[in-house]
Structure 1
Amino acid sequence: MDNKLEYIFQKDKIGVGKRKQSVARVFLIPGEGKIIINKVPGEKYLQYNTTYLETIWAPLKILKLEKQFDIVVLAKGGGLTGQTDSIQLGLARLLCKMEQQNRSILKPYGFLTRDARIKERKKYGLRKARKAPQYSKR
């Protein structure tokens, strides 16, 4: 088990993905196709939501590698949707790092694009980022 952990936590075998407030560090280990997110089985962590699970598996399915690797993830921040998308980005980046030709396969699907939309900061004099107090003429 110890040598498996050493294999996981090598710097060159990590993919980092970000989305909204969440950050995911993704590791791939040879295995039979399990997901472990924050030491919890992926299905349980994502509340058995098939959309989230399909989103994570999409890059591996396109490369036909879904039964060859186990995915180990350390995710923090944000909600489940943000974490799922950050895991997908980290996984795609890791696959490109492992095999350079994967980049040309994954890029047209948009798996390597960082979604830059984040919450806008609140401005003074306003109630939220853009919502102003009601204007009263009299």
Structure 2
Amino acid sequence: PVRDAQGRSYATGKRKNAIARVWVKPGSGKITVNGQDADAYFKRPVLMMVIRQPFTVANVVDNFDIVATVVGGGLSGQAGAVRHGI
């Protein structure tokens, strides 16, 4: 993957009417969505599970920090868009 000067990789994810811009960088597993902690933004545990699925499948849980900006759709579509961006 291509990385910028800060060591981040960028991708766009889409699901339903939601569009997510996602930056991934090596870190401790912190996930931020629209300036908030992901647990506060996606209040349902199942939505957090959706976001963490790519890390679980790749067996790299807590190895990367995620910063995402999401617009459009509902929370379920937004969680799916972030997952696709990851």
| TM-score normalised over the length of structure 2 | 0.88
Matched, 1:39 2:56: no
User: Equivalent residue of 1:67, what SS?
Assistant: coil
Residues 26-65 of structure 1 mapped to structure 2, 5 A cutoff: 26-47=22-43, 49-65=44-60
Give the distance between the partners of 1:57 and 1:21, measured in 2 at CA.
21
**Amino acid of the residue matched to residue 30 of structure 1?**
P
User: Equivalent residue of 2:6, what SS?
Assistant: helix
Give the distance between the partners of 1:55 and 1:7, measured in 2 at CA.
27
User: Equivalent residue of 1:7, what SS?
Assistant: coil
Q: In proportion to residue count, which structure has more helix?
A: 1
1:90 deviates by: 0.8
Matched, 1:69 2:64: yes
Structure 1 segments (4+ residues) deviating >2 Å: none
**Amino acid of the residue matched to residue 68 of structure 1?**
N
| TM-score normalised over the length of structure 1 | 0.56
The match for 2:6 is 7
1:7 deviates by: 2.0
CA RMSD of aligned residues (A): 1.7
Give the distance between the partners of 1:31 and 1:90, measured in 2 at CA.
17
**Amino acid of the residue matched to residue 14 of structure 1?**
Y
The match for 2:82 is 87
Q: Work out the percentage of aligned pairs sharing the same amino acid.
A: 33
1:20 deviates by: 1.4
- Which is greater in Rg? 1
**Amino acid of the residue matched to residue 33 of structure 2?**
I
Instruction: Tell me which of the two structures has the higher relative contact order, counting C-alpha pairs closer than 8 angstroms and 6 or more residues apart.
Output: 2
The match for 1:115 is none
Residues 74-130 of structure 1: CA deviation (Å, up to 9, x unaligned): 111111001001111111xxxxxxxxxxxxxxxxxxxxxxxxxxxxxxxxxxxxxxx
Q: In proportion to residue count, which structure has more strand?
A: 2
